[in-house]
Structure 1
Amino acid sequence: MDLGISGRAALVLGGGGGIGGAIAQILAEEGVKVAVADINPEAAEQRVAAIVEAGGRALGVEWDLSEFDAIEGNVRVVEESLGPIDILVNNTGGPPPSPVLGQDPTAWLNYFQSMVLSVIAITDSVVPGMRSRGWGRVITSTSSGVIAPIPNLGLSNALRASLLGWSKTLAREVAADGVTCNVVVPGRIGTQRTEFLDRAKSEREGKPVEQVWAESLAAIPAGRYGKPREYAAAVAFLAGAPASYITGSVVRVDGGLIASL
């Protein structure tokens, strides 16, 4: 299928990581010019190198999502190099495992700023241009915890859930201007973050990590962890022209893990 997005420009937040990197790579394969934004400049440049080696065009941007003053400057750098941003992929790192009760208010504020307010501010920066051009995609990657809260991921469950209400509201505000806004929810995707969480659970519950993995696999109807490219393929489709009538949706890429309707 031709996604009809060759030549457009995309900004992928967290593009140096497992999921973000796969999204950046697959968009580049569709002919998209990709800005790979990450707090780790080395990770961003490694992804840029992989994209360029495969014949694509990409730009690495060191981007700390907690620094609001850097947003306008970073957006300007991307657009001066690649052109107007037509596709925004909001993909942020998650907080450490924790119960929801008794967390320091400072932790709530800090993670709310980097995981939620930064996403809103960056979107506010690029959506006016999308509306004026009559075409745009805002795709926000969250967590399965927004549908079925994950034990001991209290901060993540609560903060990421707020992005669902925001995205749905935004979708209604900009739909008539050719801009779609959707949320994508990963199940157990095989990344370093997932491995970290599995090991943390192993230590917390005093189980061998192999037992944690086996229990996780048993809960997934597909019987395996997803691949980052499988998740990225869903994001790429939502970014494409054929998905122009999909907006305000929450798309699960979870191998059947989430049991609710």
Structure 2
Amino acid sequence: MDLGLNGKKAIVCASSRGLGRGCAEALAEAGCDIVLNGRNEAVLEETRTALTEKYGVSVVSVPADVSTPEGQQALLSACPEPDILVNNNGGPPRRDYTELDRKSLLEGAVQNFVTPIELIQAVTPAMKARGFGRIVNITSLSVKMPIEGLDLSSGARAGLTAFLAGVCRQLAPSGITINNLLPGKMDTDRLKGGFDRAAQQTGTSLEEIRAQQAAEIPAQRFGNAAEFGQACAFLCSRHAGYITGQNILMDGGLYPAAF
């Protein structure tokens, strides 16, 4: 399927690895010029080289913390008027709510609530002028169901979801869509870190932990960055102009609900 994205410009935040990289790869495959972002310059450069060689599109890397004003400015300097914005950022570390102080609460809110809103504010004027824009926010399954220890991340991402529910309808007449992708258990470094902790706490082997957790998912497996990225690319495509304000679960059926 031709997604109609050839020559479009995309900023993909936190895209040197994991789900962000999956989104960047899928958009590059569709013909987009990409602005990558990450904190590890070596990993970022590796990703930039791989995408450039494989897809032949322009790929610019911006090493920066997207949560900071300086990091956001660096991204926007590299691509002042993107057609596509994929908001992504690391979440606060797993921690019981009783262990959260004011500083960590505010940091979590900035990471997963304030930052994507600031970027949306920055990119939508040019999108409105062109009559086209696609914004995809990578949030989490935890927006819909609690995950132990991720209360801060869940709260910030749920707040973003509620905030943008009205904003997306303001922007819809201008040809701009805003949608959220909610990953469940995806085979990423963050998930593997959780396996390590569980293995240490229980004395169970990593292989057993993986098997136990995969068995809880109706699809009987973990998701991967490539299929996640393809879903993101579709939401950014010309075919998805009538889809906005949606929360799309990618969890293999783990969330048990009809609606």
For 1:33 and 1:5, the matched residues in 2 are separated by 9
Unaligned segments of structure 1, at least 5 residues: none
Residue 5 of structure 1 corresponds to: 5
For 1:148 and 1:114, the matched residues in 2 are separated by 20
For 2:20 and 2:194, the matched residues in 1 are separated by 18
Residue 53 of structure 1 corresponds to: 53
Whether 1:125 aligns to 2:122 is: yes
**Pair 167,203 (structure 1): closer, same or farther in 2 beyond 3 Å:** farther
Residue 36 of structure 1 corresponds to: 36
Relative to the length of structure 2, the TM-score reads 0.94
Relative to the length of structure 1, the TM-score reads 0.94
Unaligned segments of structure 2, at least 5 residues: none
* Higher mean C-alpha deviation, range 100-109 or range 87-96: 100-109
* Higher mean C-alpha deviation, range 153-162 or range 136-145: 153-162
Amino acid at match of 2:73: E
Contact 1:168 1:182 in 2 (8 A): no
| CA deviation after TM superposition for structure 1 residue 245, in Å | 0.1
For 1:22 and 1:85, the matched residues in 2 are separated by 19
* Higher mean C-alpha deviation, range 206-215 or range 111-120: 206-215
Partner SS state of residue 101, structure 1: helix
**Pair 152,241 (structure 1): closer, same or farther in 2 beyond 3 Å:** same
For 1:206 and 1:22, the matched residues in 2 are separated by 33
| CA deviation after TM superposition for structure 1 residue 206, in Å | 4.4
Residue 65 of structure 1 corresponds to: 66
For 1:157 and 1:228, the matched residues in 2 are separated by 21
How many residues of Structure 1 are paired with residues of Structure 2 in the alignment?
257
For 2:10 and 2:164, the matched residues in 1 are separated by 18
For 1:104 and 1:179, the matched residues in 2 are separated by 37
Partner SS state of residue 182, structure 2: strand
For 1:223 and 1:48, the matched residues in 2 are separated by 33
Q: Deviations over 1:109-135 (max 9, x none)?
A: 112112221111111111111011100
Q: Percent identity?
A: 33
| CA deviation after TM superposition for structure 1 residue 217, in Å | 0.9
Contact 2:217 2:253 in 1 (8 A): yes
Please show how residues 185-224 of structure 1 align to structure 2 within 5 Å: 185-224=182-221
